């Protein structure tokens, strides 16, 4: 594979040379972009000599030759690696700034990017950087580290660049997934719906949207064309070419029915409110006037059930959240709602980073425990890829 390594201005730049050697020894083709800051720690000569790789700097970028270097490099690379990735470089990436060879190549590059931050603890914990990281990960960036340990200042804290061996393993994992969903159109529906009681209050649930965001990020990294329909979330949804925001169950139902015929697979991870008030009050209900409030509720439409008459070639992945984890009842629900794969999980997954449950398909059930939502997303998408490969 063709790997493009960007080395930026951090004392951890020497680790990038070891990373480059590991990747080269595994048979990958390597090219390197060395920023002006990076060249303060390692030289173009040392990089090209130790790695046997073409090494480019801003001097090459501004050279008066008929070569559009940043476009050439962006098209050449199967994977882009930023190691070390400094506060400055990450901020420019998040803001869409392209004023040198590295950031211009990054702006033109269309594939997955692995980045390994390296900076002092106070810089890493900066609210500005944390906002930038949300933007970067929403764009599909895959972060490795940083780790905790001794820093260049002599302090001890978080901010050390991850070890080259760890970065290399993430690179290999991404390359194994690279383009496995190319040409497939995925519709990913996530977030929670809200049903109005009055102009202020709603009936909803505690779903954060993190699982759906993980699915979007990994589907894009695997080459799928992703459209997303998103309810209320506690996070910033990753950008997709088509991103439709909805709030109520009826709005989500209409959007899903409209886009379902064009997709190859629907992943329905939305936490749809099962009930809504039979009457929505125009004015805010006041406790002084109604110290004891009795609500009349009705069920909301079943979105997956409504799709059954129009299901043709599409695969459907659905989620079920149950307190009792009854596999027999879950399997019946999977069949009734036309799901090819069901993810059964518990209320303990709401808003947290890990999931415990079971995957159910026509072959049976597979339990899992303590998976991160990123890992579960990869397993779901790998299931889709394997199903399409089998035909």
Q: Tell me the three state secondary structure of residue 365.
A: strand
Pairing of strands 315-321, 54-56: unpaired
Contact 328, 336 (CB under 8 A): no
Which residues have CB under 8 Å from 2's CB, separation 6+? 28, 29, 31, 76, 77, 78, 79
Q: In Å, what is the CA distance from 221 to each residue of 77, 171, 174, 232, 378?
A: 14, 12, 8, 24, 10
Which residues have CB under 8 Å from 110's CB, separation 6+? 74
The residue from 2, 205, 345, 386 that is catalytic is: 205
| Catalytic (active site) residue 2 | no
Contact 388, 263 (CB under 8 A): no
Q: What is the four-CA torsion angle of 383, 387, 389, 390, rounded to 10 degrees?
A: 130
Which residues partner with 285 through β-bridges? none
Q: In Å, what is the CA distance from 58 to each residue of 30, 37, 85, 100, 103?
A: 18, 11, 17, 6, 11
Phi, psi values for residue 206, rounded to 5°: -100, 15
For CA atoms 1, 16, 215, 379, give the dihedral sign: positive
113: tokens are 């990017």
Q: Tell me the three state secondary structure of residue 143.
A: strand
Q: Tell me the three state secondary structure of residue 324.
A: coil
Distance CA 212, CA 189 (A): 7
Distance CA 242, CA 321 (A): 27
Active-site residue set: 205
């Amino acid at each position: 594979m063709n790997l493009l390594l960007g080395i930026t201005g951090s004392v951890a730049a020497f680790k990038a040379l070891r990373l480059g050697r590991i990747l080269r020894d595994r048979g990958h083709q390597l090219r390197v972009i060395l920023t002006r800051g990076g060249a303060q720690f390692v030289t173009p000569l040392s990089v090209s000599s130790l790695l046997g790789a073409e090494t480019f700097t801003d001097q090459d970028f501004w050279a008066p030759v008929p070569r559009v270097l940043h476009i050439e490099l962006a098209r050449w690379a199967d994977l882009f690696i930023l190691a070390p990735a400094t506060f400055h470089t990450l901020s420019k990436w998040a803001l869409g700034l392209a004023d040198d060879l590295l950031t211009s190549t990054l702006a033109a590059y269309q594939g997955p990017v692995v980045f390994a931050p390296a900076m002092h603890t106070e810089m890493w914990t900066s609210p500005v950087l944390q906002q930038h990281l949300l933007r970067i990960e929403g764009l599909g960036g895959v972060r490795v580290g940083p780790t905790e340990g001794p820093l260049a200042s002599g302090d001890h804290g978080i901010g050390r660049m991850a070890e080259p061996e760890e970065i290399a393993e993430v690179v290999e994992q991404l390359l194994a997934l690279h383009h496995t969903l190319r040409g497939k159109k995925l519709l990913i529906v996530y977030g929670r719906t809200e049903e109005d009681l009055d102009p202020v209050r709603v009936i909803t649930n505690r779903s954060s949207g993190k699982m759906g965001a993980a699915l979007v990020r990994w589907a894009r990294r695997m080459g799928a064309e992703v459209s997303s329909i998103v309810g209320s979330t506690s996070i910033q949804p990753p950008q997709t070419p088509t991103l439709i925001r909805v709030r109520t169950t009826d709005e989500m139902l209409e959007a899903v029915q409209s886009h379902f015929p064009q997709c190859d697979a629907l992943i329905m991870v939305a936490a749809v409110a099962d009930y809504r008030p039979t009457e929505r009050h125009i004015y805010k209900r006041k406790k002084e006037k109604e110290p004891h409030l009795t609500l009349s509720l009705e069920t909301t439409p079943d979105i997956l059930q409504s799709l059954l008459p129009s299901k043709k070639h599409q695969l459907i992945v659905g989620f079920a959240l149950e307190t009792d984890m009854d596999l027999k009842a879950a399997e019946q629900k999977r069949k009734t709602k036309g799901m090819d794969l069901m993810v059964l999980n518990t209320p303990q997954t709401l808003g947290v980073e890990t999931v415990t449950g079971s995957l159910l398909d026509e072959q049976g059930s597979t339990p899992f425990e303590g998976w991160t939502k990123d890992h579960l997303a990869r397993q779901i998408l790998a299931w889709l890829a394997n199903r399409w490969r089998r035909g």
